[in-house]
Amino acid sequence: MSPPNSNSQKSMRTPLGRVRGLGSSNSGTSDFWRQRLTAVAMILLMIPVIVIVMSLLGRNQAGAAQILGSPLVAIVMLLFIVASVWHMKIGMQVVLEDYVHDEKIKLVAIMANNFFSAAVALASIYAILKLSSGV
Reading the chain (135 residues) residue by residue, the pLDDT tens digits are 555 555 556 667 677 666 665 555 556 688 889 999 999 999 999 999 999 999 999 999 888 888 988 999 999 999 999 999 999 999 999 999 999 999 999 999 999 999 999 999 999 999 999 888 876
Alpha helices by DSSP H, 11-102? 15-20, 24-56, 61-68, 71-99
Task: Give the per-residue pLDDT at 11.
Answer: 65
Q: Can you state the angle between helices 24-56 and 71-99, rounded to 10 degrees?
A: 140
The CATH number assigned to the domain holding 79 equals 1.20.1300.10
Residues 6+ apart with CB under 8 A from 128: 68, 74, 77, 78, 81
Is 9 among the domain residues? no
Is 92 among the domain residues? yes
Task: Give the per-residue pLDDT at 33.
Answer: 92
- Domain with 129, as residue range(s), is 25-133
Is 61 among the domain residues? yes
Task: Give the per-residue pLDDT at 18.
Answer: 65
Is 84 among the domain residues? yes
Residues 6+ apart with CB under 8 A from 92: 113, 117
Task: Give the per-residue pLDDT at 6.
Answer: 52
Asked if residues 93 and 110 have their Cβ atoms less than 8 Å apart, the reply is yes
Number of domains composing the chain: 1
pTM: 0.75
Asked if residues 83 and 38 have their Cβ atoms less than 8 Å apart, the reply is yes
Task: Give the per-residue pLDDT at 76.
Answer: 96
